Amino acid sequence: MRVLEIWRYPVKSLQGEQLDTAEVGSQGLTGDRRFAIFDAETGFGLTARRQPRLLFAAASMRPDGSVLITLPDGSVAADDAALSAWLDRPVVLRSTEEVRERRFENPVDFEEEAGAWEPFSGSSGAFHDSGRASVSLLSTATITGWEPRRFRSNLLLEGAGEDELVGSRVRVGGAELAVGMRIERCVMTTRPQPGGIDRDLDVLRTIHRERGGNLAVGADVVQSGSVQVGDELQPG
């Protein structure tokens, strides 16, 4: 397998940026999930599970480490007030350094989103859903025609066989990764996105039926280094 695409998502649940090369550190790709939007009243972090419209804004990292957020109308969100006006609720944008408690929400039943929601705690580092993985890998063979952007993986791989990497170490570019888990998928995979990606509950239904609810694998970083498009995965 080799790296076909590299994706970084500076703000949790917003569209990200495609890169030719990326630095990989202890928390994953530098800048990935470094920011999240929080409900100022409840304290919950917002994701496209609860607020699907988040997927229609985009984020990119500035050279100084700050983030540029472009709203669906093409305007730039200059501050929390602009984000609050867009989302019709008081919200605040916070970096990983500013937030200790990371609570998010999942629907109990993705088929019944008007029903109950349950809280979960995210990673203590970058705003990943799980503290067990900071880099996600997914092959084109696994998604078999689905739009890759539904799954928001960091490394899209040409080839097949990422499931078999779980429990092993791999080298990609100058980085070494310990692949420790299959990633459990949620209602995010069904959400509409820009570019003609429609709402589709059958995506998650199929993942549950054919793959036990898991798609893509997650890894921790054993050795930092740079990764670029075209790098081959090698045994660690």
CA–CA gap between residue 233 and residue 133 (Å, rounded):
18
Distance, CA of 120 to CA of 49 (rounded, Å): 12
* CATH architecture for residues 2-235: Beta Barrel (2.40)
| Per-residue pLDDT tens digits for 90-116 | 999 999 999 888 899 988 988 887 789
- As a dihedral over the C-alpha atoms of residue 99, residue 113, residue 194, residue 218, rounded to 10 degrees, the angle is 50
pTM of the model: 0.94
Going from N- to C-terminal start, the domains of the chain cover 2-235
Mean of pLDDT over the chain: 95
- Burial (CB count <10 Å: 0-12, 13-18, 19+), residue 217: buried
- The closest alpha carbon to 233, from 175, 183, 151, 149, belongs to 175
What are the pLDDT digits (tens) for 204-226? 999 999 999 999 999 999 999 99
